[in-house]
Amino acid sequence: MSSYRLHSQSSILARRRSTNRQKWRSESSILGVPVVLSSINPKSMGEFIPEITRLFPDQEAFAREIPSFDAFEDKRTWNAVKKLGRKKLVVSGLWTSMCFAYTALHALNEGYEVYGLIDAAGDSTVDAHKYAVKRMLQAGVLPITLESLVSEWMHD
């Protein structure tokens, strides 16, 4: 019974996080916030999420040339971020403990103020997500949720 509950809760959380990822990109599109999209090996892992790429028809989703979980190890992705000229970044990813954490930690090391969109990410287990979030917070990533992020954008 408890494994069913865990699976059920994980499925609910996964759906909510997927919805939040789509809402985040939708709000950024509406408010004119620049976005950089990247993916790992779309030939074998699948194309970037179509519901998101449709929101940014003029934005290329970079297929990383280096199969790394850190999006910023890819030159095109990193150059696109640097070209924006921003000092604050909002980062999220499909898997909290890999793409999200590695990219956020890299941005911190490069001197960016990094906001981690916690409720738009997930992981293979509850613990993997939880400890990846703790790791990022200890390193200096500022946690934020979709609601508070959009609220801040509306005030800027």
Place of tokens 């992020």: 149
Burial grade of 23 (CB within 10 A; 0-12, 13-18, 19 or more): middle
Is pLDDT at 2 greater than 90 in this prediction?
no
Give the residue from 94, 95, 145 showing the smallest Cα distance to 116.
145
User: Which distant-in-sequence residues (6+ apart) come within 8 Å of 125 by Cβ?
Assistant: none
pTM (whole model) above 0.75: yes
Gyration radius of the chain's alpha carbons: 15
Domain edges within the chain: 2-155
Classify domain 2-155 at the CATH topology level: Rossmann fold (3.40.50)
More confident residue, 26 or 124: 124
Q: Across-strand partners of 62?
A: 38
pLDDT category at 147 given cuts 50, 70, 90 is confident
What's the confidence (pLDDT) of residue 128? Answer: 95
What's the confidence (pLDDT) of residue 54? Answer: 79
Is pLDDT at 13 greater than 80 in this prediction?
no
